[in-house]
Amino acid sequence: LAAATVVPFDGEGQLADGHPVALLANVGGAADAVSAAAAHAEGVGLFRTEFCFLDRVEALTVEEQVAAYRGVLAAFPGRKVVVRTLDAGSDKPLPFANADHEDNPALGVRGLRIARRMPALLDDQLRALARAAEAESAVVEVMAPMVATVEEAGEFAERARAAGLTRVGIMIETPSAALLAAELFDVVDFVSLGTNDLAQYTLAADRLLSELGDLNDPWQPAVLRLIGMVGEAGRAAGKPVGVCGEAGGDPALAAVLVGLGVTSLSMTARSLGRVATALAEVTEDDCRRAAAAVLAARTGEETRAAASAALRNA
């Protein structure tokens, strides 16, 4: 991969052979969405709705949620906006949703699991989102965080559809979900890989501990192999596989992810240009070669070296 000059993103992610790879933005609210649109993001791949609830002692009312969600949707008329339901808990505890104390909060009642004891919180959110979607022209997709089983995904999809949402997905953040990807595609329309948590749970290394940063790394071969399994399941089902963790904004990893079967990358808006530049230099064949090379590697160091060797002459 030749050293490339960073160019601003022109709003169309594609490989050198024209193969499209949607480049989307991660946002936490309307202000982020406006800057992401100004940076030409093709849409939103991850709207972290818990950011709208931060510093709140109680949940937002449905009315307040409709207004908050409309603020993001309005920045992307006619474009895809993937909205994630509340991911409270662990590194993002919210007083009205999480217990005061859990011995292992990363393994506790977080993300979609909160709906086990507070089903109305999820249903209100789905209702608010359906109303926001009706009022704006953005193409709204909804997904749940922290899914581990097919039952959880199926129940979430049922409730989201009952609320009037038509495009329903889940995040793949647990090794369990990655291993069950084929079965999960039977009940949802798309998946998005949360590589931050997927690395944390695969390597059993707390993502908040910088001391364990070498383990908490999407280049770890076990993480890349799980991503490859999800990509294969996506190809077989003919359904989209996104990445919305930090890995989605790593230009060196972009071609590898596409080769593993990833169809869109979502990132902080300031990474769009660099990722677009990296992808514009490689073909789909190059991506597949890079993917095959990392899948054969045994260590985090080897996966990086294998990818750059495979792409050197691209």
- In sequence order, which ranges of the chain are alpha helices (DSSP H)? 30-38, 50-53, 62-73, 114-117, 119-135, 150-162, 175-179, 181-185, 195-203, 221-237, 251-259, 272-279, 284-295, 300-311
Q: Which is nearer to ligand PEP, 144 or 233 (CB)?
A: 144
Touching Mg ion, residues 179-208 (CB under 5 A): 194, 197
Picked from Mg ion, ligand PEP, none, the partner binding residue 242 (CB below 5 to 8 A depending on kind) is none
Residue 119 in 3-state DSSP?
A: helix
Touching ligand PEP, residues 39-58 (CB under 6 A): 46, 48
The reply on whether position 307 binds ligand PEP by CB under 6 A is no
Q: Which amino acid is at 191?
A: V
Touching ligand PEP, residues 220-239 (CB under 6 A): none
Count of residues that interact with ligand PEP, criterion CB under 6 A: 10
Pattern of binders to ligand PEP over 142-181, x per CB under 6 A?
-------------------------------x--------
Touching Mg ion, residues 157-176 (CB under 5 A): 173
Which pair of tokens denotes residue 58?
């109680």
Could you tell me the smallest distance in angstroms from the CB atom of residue 68 to ligand PEP? 17
Residue 266: which of 68, 43, 63, 59 has the closest Cα? 43
Which pair of tokens denotes residue 270?
């300031």
Which pair of tokens denotes residue 85?
């339901």
Please report where in the chains the tokens 């999960």 appear, as a residue: 184
Decide: 60 and 27 in contact? Cβ < 8 Å: no
Picked from ligand PEP, Mg ion, none, the partner binding residue 195 (CB below 5 to 8 A depending on kind) is ligand PEP
Picked from ligand PEP, Mg ion, none, the partner binding residue 244 (CB below 5 to 8 A depending on kind) is ligand PEP
End-to-end CA distance of the chain: 6
Q: Which is nearer to ligand PEP, 265 or 311 (CB)?
A: 265
Spatial distance between the Cα atoms of 193 and 218, rounded to a whole number of angstroms: 11
Picked from Mg ion, ligand PEP, none, the partner binding residue 48 (CB below 5 to 8 A depending on kind) is ligand PEP
Could you tell me the smallest distance in angstroms from the CB atom of residue 228 to ligand PEP? 17
Please report where in the chains the tokens 């490339």 appear, as a residue: 4
Could you tell me the smallest distance in angstroms from the CB atom of residue 26 to Mg ion? 11
Touching ligand PEP, residues 191-210 (CB under 6 A): 194-197
Spatial distance between the Cα atoms of 30 and 67, rounded to a whole number of angstroms: 10
Residue 169: which of 242, 227, 238 has the closest Cα? 242
Q: Which amino acid is at 223?
A: V
Touching ligand PEP, residues 74-93 (CB under 6 A): 87
Q: Which residues are near Mg ion by CB under 5 A?
A: 173, 194, 197
Q: Which residues are near ligand PEP by CB under 6 A?
A: 46, 48, 87, 173, 194-197, 244-245
